[in-house]
């Protein structure tokens, strides 16, 4: 039996593993002011997120709702310029309805940059004082949500870190946690193998359809998720990269298919469909790894397991990123940025099972408050772009029925 | 001229993966036979486990990852020059750092 984690209890009943204040800008024009408000407090659990676009978009609005009410977030300050298209009042009421204290500063109505920064910092001081009172309660494994993503992949990712994460996912699913893998574009070529693990035949069809959608989308764009660095690292094709990426999912049955902003209602393994529905609009589905991490967090992820071969250094605002380094040479070069040396499997210094066990131990330690490498280095990357999605159908959630 | 280990990820694969970076002349052992690598290759790169005819599927992790675009001999480096995706073209950066399709 694993000792219970002590989570921060929110008024909506959700439990977080961090107790963060979020400052959110609602258009790029408010970014500087929001960043200036956050800067003096960036090492004290005050995180900056935001949406740059001036034009409203249902997806980004839903993402901001999900992120501002994430279980790791206790209170939110929204910073608006005033004339952007974002529904700031709608977002403010969603956050308040979740029981989280929230405030809105509109720069145009608040005497400009200097006054808004000053007012914002005063608000942060009060917010930090009140957040310190958040009760901590035992948090069963059934309430823990984990995501996984890979970035800067090379020929080692699919051999060491990804199957290592797969072993950890198997153990976590077994202990009741919710585990989410994603990037349907990186599953092109292994959709039939994956669909065989679906909880129902209807879900199997949905899983295959989601990958077919991704293949169409990428074919229209002319590019897959395959980056030039992948070929330098020995990967040759999209489907080769896919098989390696797929191994992050482990071997549990697949319980459902979700889209960004859907928080699974029961434990199990879920595929997150990140490729937009409908005609190709707005460009690449995810412009970088942090766009995917943001979507995993919007689905409730408390921790993201990040597999890297070439050596990504990113972290994230809101939820810790745990780096599992696939390549032993990369680990030696970038030790300070990495949490787990999965590449030692290649040098005969560990087995896959041992790496899987180590990942599970680190998940529990990080859930208990231990900082990941990227957290301790102050990484708080965040990006959010434009997309459009249709809601998932009932076949995607067979376990809810 | 050191020996370098390779990994067969699943039985039935026709490629193996280098477990460490190799210099030209480094030796690998493939189905009992030792051969010297003609060029330096990074960790994770693939070598043909046996002779692969033109057009045959390349099998790694027990699954097809593309097809041979010409006959490949046992021990040969398997990459963009002799195999291609069955799904999407692969893009790489050339020496001038221009984005181009590896197939062109």
pLDDT band at B95 (very low <50, low <70, confident <90, very high): very low
pLDDT greater at residue A224 or residue A15: A15
Q: Is the Cα dihedral B70, B74, B78, B84 positive or negative?
A: positive
Whether residue B97 has pLDDT greater than 60: no
Q: Residue A352 CA to chain centroid, in angstroms?
A: 24
Q: Are residues A396 and A310 in the same domain?
A: yes
Q: Mutate which of B2, B61, B67 to test chain A, going by most A C-beta atoms within 10 A?
A: B61
Our count of domains for chain A comes to 2
Is residue A170 within 8 Å of A250, Cβ to Cβ?
yes
User: What ipTM goes with this model?
Assistant: 0.84
Note the pLDDT of residue A99. 98
Q: What would the mean pLDDT of B66-93 be, rounded to a whole number?
A: 84
Residues 6+ away with beta carbon under 8 Å from A134: A8, A9, A10, A19, A74
Whether the predicted pLDDT of B77 surpasses 70: yes
- Is residue B101 pLDDT above 70, yes or no? no
Looking at every residue in chain B, the average pLDDT score rounds to 84
Tokens of A314: 């990113």
Q: What is the pLDDT of residue A86?
A: 97
**Is the model's pLDDT at A135 over the cut of 60?**
yes
Residue A224: pLDDT over 70 = no
One CATH from 3.40.50.150, 2.30.130.110, 3.40.50.720, 3.90.950.20 for B6-101: 2.30.130.110
Judge if A29 and A175 occupy the same domain: no
Q: Judge if A109 and A47 occupy the same domain.
A: yes
Backbone angles phi, psi at B31, to 5 degrees: 35, 55
Does one domain contain both A149 and A60?
Answer: no
What is the tens place of the pLDDT at every residue in A34-71?
A: 999 999 999 999 999 999 999 999 999 999 999 999 99
On whether both A180 and A115 belong to a single domain, the answer is no
Q: Return the closest-CA partner of residue A231 out of A152, A308, A330.
A: A152
Least confident of A79-88, A340-349, A359-368, A375-384: A340-349
> Distance (Å, rounded) from C-alpha A280 to C-alpha B100?
22
Q: What's chain A's average pLDDT?
A: 94
Res. A237: pLDDT tops 50: yes
List residues in chain B touching A: CB distance below 8 A. 7, 9, 17-21, 41-46, 58, 60-61, 63-66, 78-80, 83-93, 99, 102
> A-chain residues within 8 Å CB-CB of B46?
155, 234, 236
**Residue where a domain stops, chosen among A137, A157, A184:** A137
Report chain A's C-alpha Rg in angstroms: 20
User: Which of the four pLDDT bands, split at 50, 70 and 90, describes residue A286?
Assistant: confident
Q: Do A130 and A157 reside in the same domain of the chain?
A: no
Domain final residue pick, A108, A137, A166 = A137
Tell me: do A86 and A233 sit in the same domain: no
Q: What average pLDDT score do residues A273-288 get?
A: 90
Residue B90 — very low, low, confident or very high, per pLDDT cuts 50/70/90?
A: low
Confidence of residue B102 (pLDDT cuts 50, 70, 90): very low
Two tokens at A286? 């995810």
Condensed to tens digits (0 to 9), the pLDDT of residues B18-64 reads 988 899 999 999 888 899 999 999 988 999 999 999 999 999 988 88
Tell me the CA distances in angstroms from A326 to A29, A62, A359, A400, B80, one per residue in order: 39, 34, 13, 36, 22
By percentage, how much of chain A surpasses pLDDT 70? 98
Single out the residue of A305, A366, A314 nearest to residue A164, CA to CA.
A305
Same domain as A152, residue A130: no
For residue A261, is pLDDT > 60?
yes
- How many whole angstroms separate alpha carbon A152 and alpha carbon A241? 11
Query: A296 and A238 share a domain?
Result: yes
Q: Which of B48, B41, B49 is nearest to B83 (CA)?
A: B48
Closest chain B residue to A154, measured at CA: B44
Q: Which of A191, A221, A237 should one mutate to test binding to chain B, selecting the residue with the greatest count of B CBs within 10 A?
A: A237
Of the residues A137, A154, A175, the one at which a domain ends = A137
Give residue A146's domain range: 141-400
Give A294's pLDDT tier (boundaries 50, 70, 90). very high
Judged by CB atoms closer than 8 Å, whether chains meet at B63 and A193 is answered as: yes
Give the residue, A182 or A218, on which the prediction is more confident.
A182
Residues A157 and A196 placed together within one structural domain of the fold? yes
Contact A156 B43 (CB under 8 A): yes
Q: Are residues A275 and A170 in the same domain?
A: yes
How close does chain B come to A372, measured CA to CA in Å?
A: 27
């Amino acid at each position: 039996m694993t000792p219970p984690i002590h989570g921060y209890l929110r008024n909506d009943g959700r439990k977080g593993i961090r107790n963060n204040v979020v400052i959110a800008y609602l258009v790029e024009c408010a970014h500087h002011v929001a960043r200036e408000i956050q800067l003096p407090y960036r090492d004290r659990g005050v995180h900056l997120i935001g949406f740059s676009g001036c034009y409203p978009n249902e997806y980004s609005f839903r993402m901001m709702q999900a992120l501002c009410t994430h279980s790791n977030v206790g209170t939110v300050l929204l910073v608006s310029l005033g004339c952007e298209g974002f529904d700031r009042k709608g977002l403010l009421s969603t956050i308040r309805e979740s029981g989280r204290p929230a405030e809105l500063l509109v720069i145009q109505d608040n005497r400009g940059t200097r006054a808004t920064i000053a007012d914002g910092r005063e608000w942060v001081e009060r917010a930090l004082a009140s957040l310190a009172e958040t009760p901590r309660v035992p948090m069963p494994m059934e309430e823990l949500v984990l995501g996984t993503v890979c970035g800067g992949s090379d020929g080692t990712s699919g051999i060491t870190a990804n199957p290592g994460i797969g072993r950890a996912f198997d153990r976590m699913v077994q202990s009741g946690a919710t585990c989410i893998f994603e990037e349907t574009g990186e599953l092109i070529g292994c959709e039939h193998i994956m669909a065989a693990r679906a909880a129902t035949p209807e879900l199997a069809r949905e899983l295959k359809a989601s990958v077919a959608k991704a293949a169409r989308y990428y074919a229209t764009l002319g590019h897959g998720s395959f980056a030039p660095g992948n070929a330098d690292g020995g990967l040759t094709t999209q489907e080769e990269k896919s098989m390696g990426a797929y191994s992050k999912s482990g071997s549990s049955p697949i319980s459902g298919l979700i889209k960004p902003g859907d928080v699974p209602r029961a434990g199990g393994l879920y595929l997150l469909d990140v490729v937009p529905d409908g005609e190709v609009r707005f460009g690449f589905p995810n412009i970088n790894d942090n766009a995917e991490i943001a979507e995993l967090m919007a689905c409730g992820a408390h921790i993201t397991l990040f597999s890297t071969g070439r050596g990504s250094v990113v972290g994230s605002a809101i939820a810790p990123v745990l780096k599992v380094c696939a390549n032993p040479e990369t680990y030696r070069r970038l030790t300070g940025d990495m949490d787990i040396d999965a590449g030692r499997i290649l040098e005969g210094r560990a087995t896959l099972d041992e790496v899987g066990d180590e990942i599970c131990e680190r998940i529990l330690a990080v859930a208990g408050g231990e900082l990941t490498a990227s957290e301790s280095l102050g990484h708080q990357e965040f990006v959010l772009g434009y997309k459009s999605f249709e809601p998932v159908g009932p076949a995607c959630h067979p376990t809810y029925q | 001229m050191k020996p370098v280990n390779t990994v067969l990820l699943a039985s039935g694969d026709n490629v193996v993966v280098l477990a460490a970076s190799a210099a030209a002349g480094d030796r690998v052992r493939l189905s009992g036979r030792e051969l010297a690598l003609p060029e330096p290759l990074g960790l994770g790169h693939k070598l043909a486990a046996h002779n692969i005819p033109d057009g045959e599927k390349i099998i790694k992790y027990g699954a097809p990852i593309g097809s041979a675009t010409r006959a490949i001999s046992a021990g040969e480096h398997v990459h963009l020059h002799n195999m291609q995706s069955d799904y999407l073209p692969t893009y790489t950066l050339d020496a001038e750092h221009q984005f181009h399709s590896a197939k062109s």
